[in-house]
Structure 1
Amino acid sequence: MLSHIRIVLVQTYHPGNIGASARAMKTMGLTDLVLVNPRDFPHPEASRLAAGAEDLVDAARVVGSLEEAVSDCVQVIGASARLRSMPLPHFDEPAEMAESLVDHAAGDPVALVFGRERFGLTNDEIRCCSHQVSIPANPDYGVLNLSQAVQVLAYETFRAWRQRPDSGFQAARPAQDRQPTREQLGHFHDHLSRLMQASGFITQPHARTEEQLQALFARAQPSRKELSLLRGLLSSLEPDAEG
Structure 2
Amino acid sequence: MNQFDQNNVSKHLEHVRIVMVNTTLPANIGSALRAMKTMGLSKLVLVAPKTYPHPDIDALAAGAQDLIEKIEIVETLEQAIQDCHIVFGTSARSRTIPWPLLDVRPAATEALQAASKDQNIAIVFGREDRGLTNEELALANYHLTIPVNPEYGVLNVAQAIQVVCYELRMAALEQNHSNTEIPNDHMQLKQQQSMEWDEPLVTQQQMEEFYPHLEKMLTDIEFLDPNNPRLLPLRLRRLFGRIQLDRMEYHLLRGIFSRAQALANGSWKKTNKEDHSHD
AA at the equivalent of 1:130: N
Structure 1 match to 2:43: 32
**What's the secondary structure of 1:97's corresponding residue?**
helix
Within 5 Å, give how 1:88-107 maps onto structure 2: 88-91=99-102, 93-106=103-116, 107=118
Shift of 1:73: 0.6
Structure 1 match to 2:150: 139
User: Quick check: which has more Rg, 1 or 2?
Assistant: 1
AA at the equivalent of 1:72: D
**What's the secondary structure of 1:163's corresponding residue?**
helix
* Distance across 2 between alignment mates of 1:54 and 1:167: 33
Question: Deviation digits for residues 66-96 of structure 1, max 9, x if unmatched?
Answer: 00000111100011111212242110x2110
Instruction: Give ranges in structure 2 of 5+ residues lacking alignment.
Output: 1-11, 180-279
8 Å contact from structure 1 (residues 19, 54) kept in 2: no
Question: Deviation digits for residues 163-190 of structure 1, max 9, x if unmatched?
Answer: 113799xxxxxxxxxxxxxxxxxxxxxx
* Distance across 2 between alignment mates of 1:4 and 1:30: 9
* Distance across 2 between alignment mates of 1:74 and 1:46: 29
**What's the secondary structure of 1:150's corresponding residue?**
helix
- Cα RMSD of the aligned pairs, angstroms, is 1.4
1:153 aligns with 2:164: yes
8 Å contact from structure 1 (residues 18, 57) kept in 2: no
Structure 1 match to 2:212: none
Shift of 1:57: 1.8
Tell me the percent identity: 47
Structure 2 match to 1:117: 128
Within 5 Å, give how 1:8-87 maps onto structure 2: 8-87=19-98
* Distance across 2 between alignment mates of 1:167 and 1:151: 24
Q: CA 1:118 to 1:167, structure 2 compared with 1: closer, same or farther past 3 Å?
A: farther
8 Å contact from structure 1 (residues 5, 32) kept in 2: yes
* Distance across 1 between alignment mates of 2:25 and 2:176: 39
* Distance across 2 between alignment mates of 1:165 and 1:64: 36
Shift of 1:116: 0.3
**What's the secondary structure of 1:111's corresponding residue?**
strand
* Distance across 2 between alignment mates of 1:57 and 1:31: 9
8 Å contact from structure 1 (residues 98, 156) kept in 2: yes
Q: TM-score, normalised by structure 2?
A: 0.58
Structure 2 match to 1:4: 15
Q: TM-score, normalised by structure 1?
A: 0.66
* Distance across 2 between alignment mates of 1:81 and 1:165: 30
Question: Deviation digits for residues 180-203 of structure 1, max 9, x if unmatched?
Answer: xxxxxxxxxxxxxxxxxxxxxxxx
* Distance across 1 between alignment mates of 2:109 and 2:69: 29
Count how many residue pairs are aligned between Structure 1 and Structure 2.
167
AA at the equivalent of 1:79: T
AA at the equivalent of 1:52: G
Question: Deviation digits for residues 1-47 of structure 1, max 9, x if unmatched?
Answer: 11100000000000010000000001110001000000000111011
Shift of 1:54: 1.9
